[in-house]
Amino acid sequence: MSNSELDKIKTTITLSLGTKNRLRKLKGSYSYENYVNYLIRLRNQTAHVENLVELQGFVRKQAIYSINQYKIIFEYNRFNNSPSFMFDIKINIVRESGKIIPLDEFLTKFETDRDAFTKEYLLYFELLKVAIQKEIEPLFKHNGAFVDYFSWQKEFDMLNLPKKAFEEDVMDKLERYKYGERMF
């Protein structure tokens, strides 16, 4: 019988084999530590939901997304554990080899086989991934195409992000994409 990660940890916590197997199945590809932290966050959120009086003050953070000779400087909301939280990503500046260029110019120059409209949404979801990596989980990788909202929903749930964040940061953007509305 091989030792799992959980078996190697010295602890006073006793788990039955059935519980270990259920835990192993539920955690999926996440490490035990990340999954236990997720369960703790979920418990805290559930336990304190009724006692919340919320005064919301979002703090904006700045980040840089680099691809080839381009740098996209953007802002998003710093994560706080609030049911009203959303990343609310906004692009500030696009640079090509240090020179500021308009976003539309970047979208037409950037080489992919997609039209500029689809590139805009691809870029937005790349920026969303960067924000999640910086604020929540450094190893976060989205599993699927940017339009795969089932993967986004599963990932937001696993990261214990509020439903409002999923609705505003993913579903609202995918609806706009579906109806041909510009992203930025």
The tens digit of pLDDT for each residue in 54-66 reads 555 678 999 999 9
Which residues are 72's β-sheet partners?
Answer: 65, 94
Of 48-52, 76-80, 150-154, minimum mean pLDDT range: 48-52
Split at pLDDT 50, 70, 90, the class of 11 is: low
* DSSP H/E element including 43: helix 32-48
Using the predicted structure, report yes or no on whether residue 162 has a pLDDT greater than 70: yes
Q: What percent of the chain has pLDDT over 90?
A: 45
Could you give phi then psi for residue 61, rounded to 5 degrees? Answer: -120, 155
The C-alpha atoms of residue 56 and residue 81 are separated, in whole angstroms, by: 11
Are residues 91 and 184 in contact, defined by beta-carbon separation less than 8 angstroms?
yes
Question: Does position 10 have pLDDT exceeding 80, yes or no?
Answer: no
pLDDT in tens, 88-112: 999 999 999 999 999 999 988 877 7
Q: Which residues, including other chains, have CB under 8 Å from residue 83's CB and lie 6 or more apart?
A: 49, 52, 54, 162, 163, 164
As a whole number, mean pLDDT of residues 43-50 equals: 65
Quote the DSSP letter at residue 116: H
Mean pLDDT of the chain: 85
- Torsion of the alpha carbons at 103, 104, 110 and 116, rounded to the nearest 10: 130
Per-residue model confidence (pLDDT) at position 130: 96
Report the candidate in 132, 130, 124, 126 with the shortest Cα–Cα distance to residue 159.
132
